[in-house]
Amino acid sequence: MDLEAPFWSLGLRVAGVDEAGRGAWAGPIVVGAVILRPGRYPFRDSKLLRPKERERLAEEVRRVALAHALGVAEVGEVDRLGVLKATLLAAQRALDLLDPPPEALVTDYLQVATSLPLLAPPKADQKSPSVAAASILAKVHRDRLMEELDRLYPGYGFARHKGYGTPEHQRALQALGPSPVHRRRFSPVAQAPLRFPEGE
Task: Report the C-alpha gap between 196 and 194 in whole angstroms.
Answer: 6
Q: Is 99 annotated as a binding residue?
A: no
Q: Is 108 annotated as a binding residue?
A: yes
Residues making up the annotated binding site for a divalent metal cation are: 18-19, 108
Q: Which residues are part of a known binding site?
A: 18-19, 108
